[in-house]
Amino acid sequence: MTESYDWMVKYTPQAEWIERRGIMLWLAFFFIELGAGTFFVSAFFGILPIMLTGWLLCAVIGGGFHLAFLGKPQRFWRILISSGWKTSWISRGLFFVFLFLVLGLIHMILSQWANPSTALLVAANIFCFLTIIYGGFAMNYINGIPLWNSALLPILYLISGIWGGAEVTLGLTLAGAGASAGLAAEEWIRLLLIGFLILILIYLISVRYTSQTGQASVRVMVQGKWSALFWIGVVLIGMVVPLITVIFSFFSGLEAIPAAVFYAAILCGLLGDLIVRYLILRCGMYNPLIQSSARTVSVPG
Amino acid sequence: MTRWGMVIDLRRCIGCYSCAISCKQEHFLPPGMFWNRVLINETGNYPTVTKQIYPVGCNHCKEAICVKVCPTRATTRREDGIVIIDADKCVGCRYCVVACPYQQRTFHADGKKEYFPGQGLTEYEAIGKELYPLEKGTVVKCNFCAERIEKGIEKGLEPGKDREATPACVINCPTKSRYFGDLDDPSSEVSTLIKEKRGVQLHPEYGTDPSIYYIT
């Protein structure tokens, strides 16, 4: 929390998208992207029950949080009828989610009771892919917050969305919803986890050298007020635990690891993903309005 | 084409907050909400202390990022350059609040705030709710006192010259450090000041082309 006399004089954290009802948006982005990621991965393996799980995660939980976040949820339809999609990523995102949900639902209905169309599945997956990535673009567009204004953010969200989806798919295959796909999903997780690790490192380093505000944001995250959450929540729980599990499974085989260990690693991975998103929203700071002060102010936290 | 804009002479500003208070009064703003703010920064150590005073408000940018990010087109830029919000269209997604690099937008979350909590609305607050109702769950911001400008023009007055047609923060500045006028008119007072005194915009690197200039 910035003191009122420091507001926009020093680095000022953004609040609207993380404090009070802003928490809803954090959860909305997470569940929308996790649901779409789950649909994307399970559609690749053709497991209908998991596709439905992803669809429900996206539509019911993600959509519910999105509506709960809005100041006027009863007016959300206005986004669909306006021409906002030409320039607004939130508007584009709603179109992507809407089209993904409609096409995905039709595909699942056809798969269950009639002949599914490949073209329909491809179209659903294209919008599913766009659903995963739009949140990153919505944040990347904001040039006042250097932590968000990075071209790597949409890629980071894309990888984390598909990674989360692969984890949910693996978890549900272990529970018996399509055991043959478990091995393949685990291979996806290995690659995506390593990709996520490398990307988050590059992302933080690149933001750190973008501007003084970017540097302050990264410092608050890894050294300041939120460092405990970063090192314990993101690095230890979200990365080290899943990494040890996938390394062990790589050398000993999937069958050698008890299902409980995999479930724990999956939960840790998802929790780490959730915390990363929280920290990116929480540590986003604005450049001070009074330019010369940027050189002399201390970093909050 | 008219483009309303403002020039703030920082050499004259004494940081008295008259602009902030007159704005609150003009628009009956609830507790904690400011459409005009005064930023004060102190640097250095005694006896070489520097104090910077920056009155800030919505910049009514020509390339307003808030207009671009609004998913319902509730935020628009009028032909006269004033960026306004249609409360009936706003869904309260707060993308504009987050996207404004100058942080000049406020989400009106609590419509029941009172200046004296628990004691009911004062007469002033009650009148304000009738005359200038702010819709809860929507985003609000400075509108350059568009009502004053419109009424003034209807009466044949000239904004920036006639008090009745000029924004409240400008006419209430005791040091006359604020000027209002048409930026597109090269002979206007604001254009002349910008040219002669080398007026600067706040953070021009964002590419938003603000309509508020500062003389430093």
Helix (H, G, I), strand (E, B) or coil at A90: helix
The verdict on a CB contact (< 8 Å) between A289 and B39 is: yes
pLDDT surpasses 50 at A300: no
pLDDT surpasses 50 at B46: yes
Q: How many residues appear in chain A? A: 301
AA letter at A82: S
What pLDDT shows up at residue A295?
38
Measured in angstroms, the CA of B75 and the nearest CA of chain A are apart by 10
What would the two tokens of residue A55 be?
């669809």
pLDDT surpasses 90 at A260: no
Cβ atoms A241, A265 nearer than 8 A: yes
Give the span between the Cα atoms of B99 and B70, in whole angstroms: 10
Residue with tokens 């540590």: A283
Give the span between the Cα atoms of B101 and A148, in whole angstroms: 12
Give the span between the Cα atoms of A98 and A134, in whole angstroms: 13
Residue with tokens 């004053």: B148
Helix (H, G, I), strand (E, B) or coil at B50: strand
Cβ atoms A94, A79 nearer than 8 A: yes
pLDDT surpasses 70 at A298: no
Convert the pLDDT of each residue in A22-58 to its tens digit: 999 999 999 999 999 999 999 988 889 999 999 999 9
Instruction: Tell me whether A298 touches chain B (CB under 8 Å).
Output: no
Q: What is the pTM of this model?
A: 0.92
For residues B186-211, average pLDDT: 94
Instruction: State how far the alpha carbon of B190 is from the alpha carbons of A253, B11, B12, B183, in Å.
Output: 74, 16, 15, 6
Which residues of chain A does B99 touch, with a Cβ-Cβ cutoff of 8 Å? 141-142, 144
Q: A186 pLDDT band (50/70/90 cuts)? A: confident
The verdict on a CB contact (< 8 Å) between A143 and B65 is: yes
Convert the pLDDT of each residue in A55-90 to its tens digit: 999 999 999 999 999 999 999 999 999 988 999 999
The verdict on a CB contact (< 8 Å) between A7 and B52 is: no
Give the span between the Cα atoms of B144 and B64, in whole angstroms: 15
For residues A249-262, average pLDDT: 81
Convert the pLDDT of each residue in A279-297 to its tens digit: 999 999 999 998 654 333 3
What pLDDT shows up at residue A294?
38
Residue with tokens 């890894």: A222
Which residues of chain B does A72 touch, with a Cβ-Cβ cutoff of 8 Å? 90-92, 137-138
Cβ atoms B41, B192 nearer than 8 A: no
Which residues of chain A does B39 touch, with a Cβ-Cβ cutoff of 8 Å? 7-9, 289-290
Measured in angstroms, the CA of A291 and the nearest CA of chain B are apart by 8
Measured in angstroms, the CA of B216 and the nearest CA of chain A are apart by 12
What would the two tokens of residue A230 be?
């970063």
What would the two tokens of residue A2 be?
């910035």
Cβ atoms B92, B130 nearer than 8 A: no
